[in-house]
Copies of this chain bind each other. A is one copy, B any other.
Amino acid sequence: MKKKGLLIVVSGFAGTGKGTVMKGLLAKYSEQYALSVSMTTRAPRPMERNGVEYFFADKETFEAKIAQDGFVEYACYCDNYYGTPKDYVEEQLNAGKDVLLEIEIQGALQVKEKLPETVLVFIMPPSVSELYGRLKGRGTETDEVIRQRMLRASEESQGIEQYDYILVNDDIDTCVESLHQMIQSEKQRAFRNTEFIECIRKEFVDLRKGEI
C-alpha cells in the first residue's frame, strides 16, 4: 500500500510570489505533488477553464456540498462561495501525492482543525519595504489598490504564529527547494511514522522468539 500523502496549505501576502513558488514546486517535482483546485460560485472570467483555475458551480450545488460536509474549508467573499472540495484532496492523498492548497488564513485554520496533520506554511517577503517595492514595481495596480493590499497584509500578519513554518521568498529557486525539503523533513516526524515504529517493535519480538 502506498503511504498517504501530506496536505500542505500555503498562504502569504499578495505579492510574495506564493503562486510562482507553487508552480515551481509542481514543475520540478511533478510526480510528487498535486495542486488542489477550488470550487467557486463566481462566474468564470475569460480564459478560465472549469477544473483548471476553478471548478465552477451554481449556488445550489455548492450549498448541497456544504450540507454533505464536502469541503475541507470554504468561505463566502463578495456574495460568492469559494471552497476546497474534500473528495479530490482525499483521492490525491490516498494515491500518495502531497497536495498543495493555496488559501488564506481563515481557510488554513479551518483545514488544520478538520485535518490536524496538515502542514501550514506562510510565505514571507524578506521585508515589508521589499514587498511594497515589488507591488509598486509591477506597475499594474493603482496606488489605492496597493494601499489596500498592504493594509490587508498588515492584518494577515497578525495570524502568522498559527502557521507551522514561515518561508522567506528571497530567491524563487531557493524558496522552491526549501519548501520541498521542508515537506520531506516533515514526513520524518515521529508521529507520522507510528506504523513503521510499531513494525520495528514487532520485529524485535519476533527476533526474540526465534533467532536469539
Q: A residues within 8 Å of B by Cβ?
A: 122, 124-125, 127-129, 132, 143, 146-147, 150-151, 153-154, 157-158, 160-167, 178, 181-182, 184-186, 188-191, 193-194, 196-197, 200-201, 203-208, 211-212
Q: Is the interface of A mostly helix, strand, loop or mixed?
A: helix
Instruction: With A185-B181, A212-B146 as known contacts, state yes or no: A207 contacts B129, CB within 8 Å.
Output: yes
Q: Is the CB of A128 within 8 A of B182?
A: no
Partner of A166, one of B153, B184, B188, B211: B188
Partner of A132, one of B143, B153, B164, B207: B207
User: Which residues from chain B contact A157 at a C-beta distance below 8 Å?
Assistant: 197, 200-201, 204
Known pairs A124-B200, A164-B189, A182-B188; list 20 more (Cβ under 8 Å). A122-B190, A124-B196, A127-B203, A132-B211, A146-B212, A150-B204, A151-B208, A154-B201, A154-B205, A158-B201, A160-B190, A161-B190, A161-B194, A165-B189, A166-B190, A166-B193, A166-B197, A167-B188, A181-B181, A182-B185
Instruction: With A157-B201, A185-B182 as known contacts, state yes or no: A207 contacts B164, CB within 8 Å.
Output: no
- In the complex, what distance in Å separates the CA atom of A182 from the CA atom of B205? 31
Question: A147: shortest Cβ distance to chain B, in Å?
Answer: 5
